[in-house]
Structure 1
Amino acid sequence: MNKGYWVIAWQSVSDPSAVDRYIAPATEAILAHGGRVVAGGEPARTYESGLPSRIVVVEFDSLQSAVSAYESPDYQASLSHLSGAAERDVRIIEGMG
């Protein structure tokens, strides 16, 4: 079974303190659902239409685990901190076997 990944590109942050409030409950929810943050930070380089903004990659044991974790009540509750405070592009993809 192929792994599942969240690829999160932060597009803008208007309230850094709200992001700080999001981090602990989001991390707790990710870990509770078997996720592992495998990369995160500012890009070393950007190409084509890439934005120089923070990227986070979270790995799960399967695509279904990745989807279930994102849709879980505990992760969804953590997103309330970002409402009106940050914009992100979140994609869930299946790893290649």
Structure 2
Amino acid sequence: MTAYWISIYKDVLDEAKLAAYAELAGPALTDAGGRFIARGFPELTYESGEATRTVLIEFASVEAARAAHDGPAYQEALAALDGGAVRDIRIVPAVE
């Protein structure tokens, strides 16, 4: 079943580290089967919405998303981020 990796950036502490992370993370996640669906700041927010950077990536399954996260290429990207951002990352199965 399809799954979605949702990253919400609560705070960016170091733009250079974030850029180094992004350079590695994008290819790592697409090579692991991820497809970027949305990326950026919201155009609109409602209720308790916050104008925080959000990334949505589609994977074939929860297992595929987990494998992408735990794989060596993405772990290298996380090492480059090195505390440069505070994020909330969750993997959610699709409704099918």
TM over 0.5: yes
Letter in 2 for 1:93: V
1:48 partner SS: coil
Question: Partner residue of 2:6?
Answer: 7
Distance in structure 2 (CA, Å) of the matches to 1:65 and 1:84? 25
Superposition TM-score, scaled by structure 2 size: 0.92
The CA RMSD measured in Å over matched residues stands at 1.1
Equivalence for 1:51 = 50
Alignment pair present for 1:60 and 2:59? yes
CA distance in 1, matches of 2:42, 2:72: 30
Q: Which residue of 2 aligns with 1:95?
A: 94
- Residues 11 and 51 of structure 1 are in contact (CA less than 8 Å); yes or no, is this contact kept in structure 2? no
Which 5+ residue runs of structure 1 have no aligned equivalent?
none
Alignment-mate amino acid for residue 62 of structure 2 = L
How far has the Cα of 1:67 moved from its partner?
Answer: 1.1
Q: TM-score, normalised by structure 1?
A: 0.91
Q: 2 CA distance for matches of 1:75 and 1:12?
A: 20
CA distance in 2, matches of 1:41, 1:53: 8
Please, which runs of 5 or more residues in structure 2 have no aligned partner?
A: none
Letter of the 2:25 counterpart: A
Residue in structure 2 matched with residue 35 of structure 1 by the alignment: 34
Between 78-87 and 27-36, the greater mean CA deviation after superposition: 78-87
**TM-fit CA distance, 1:14:** 1.4
Displacement over 6 Å in runs of 4+ = none
- Percent of pairs identical after alignment? 38
Note the C-alpha offset of 1:66. Answer: 0.9
Contact kept? 1:26, 1:75, Cα under 8 Å: yes
How many positions carry a matched residue from both structures? Answer: 96
